[in-house]
Amino acid sequence: MKDNLLQESIDRLVRYALANDDLAGLLRTACEALVEAGLPVWRASLDIPTLDPNARAMAHKWWSDRPLSIEPLPHGPEQEGVFRESVIFYLMSRGLEAHSWHLERDEGVEEFDLLRDLKAQGCTHYILRLVGFGGDMAVRGVALSLATRRSGGFTAEDLRIANRLVPALALGAYRMSLARTATETLSIYLGSR
């Protein structure tokens, strides 16, 4: 991908994030840019914590071959165990910002239900990145993942391109999360108007 095309994709993400409050649309815009750049992205996710008393986080999932989905990740004692066995907790508990699993080599397949499920669907490579939001934010960061079905997984060039989009995607998610948190908080005290 030529650097000017990559810059255009970053600019498109920033423009989208400034004009919208739709995290699913932000993820879709990022994935479309990656696919246009030639990356074999089959699935991507953007998980972001929430202040909602009913959900610990919202999981936004994009696939190249099916509709985008948004799922709440509920609170509760049984969910705490599920979280502690997740790839996100794996990174958090080790102080890692990113990790890659080559599913063709069965990396992580025995350890994580998600990776076992993705491998069963033909996924060959899964990458997870945690991006923290600075300061004392109620929402501390976002988890971004990419998965491919291409034999051999993502290349070093694929990862370079994806990493260039991460700051714009994370900043967009931060802005949307901050706006949603402020709106929800103010509606509690002042009403929905």
Q: What are the strands, taking DSSP E only, across 91-151?
A: 98-102, 125-132, 141-148
Tens digit of pLDDT for each residue in 82-123? 778 899 889 989 999 999 999 999 999 999 999 999 999 999
For the record, the structure tokens of 140 come out as 């501390």
Contact predicate 87/98, CB 8 Å: no
Provide DSSP, the chain: --HHHHHHHHHHHHHHHHH---HHHHHHHHHHHHHHTT--EEEEEEEEE---TTEEEEEEEEESSS--EEEEEE-SHHHHHHHHTSHHHHHHHHT-SEEEEEGGGTTTTTT-HHHHHHHHTT--EEEEEEEEPPSS-SS-EEEEEEEE-STT---HHHHHHHHHHHHHHHHHHHHHHHHHHHHHHHHHHH---
pLDDT at 113: 95
Higher pLDDT, 41 or 192: 41
Tens digit of pLDDT for each residue in 118-138? 999 999 999 999 987 766 655
- In the three-class reduction of DSSP (H, G, I as helix; E, B as strand; rest coil), residue 146 is classed as strand
pLDDT at 189: 64
pLDDT at 157 over 90: yes
Positive or negative, the Cα torsion across 120, 121, 127, 129?
A: negative
- Report all structural domains of the chain as residue ranges with CATH numbers, in order of start: 3-155+175-190 (3.30.450)
Prediction pTM value: 0.86
How far is Cα 161 from Cα 154, in angstroms, rounded to an integer? 11
Contact predicate 26/171, CB 8 Å: no
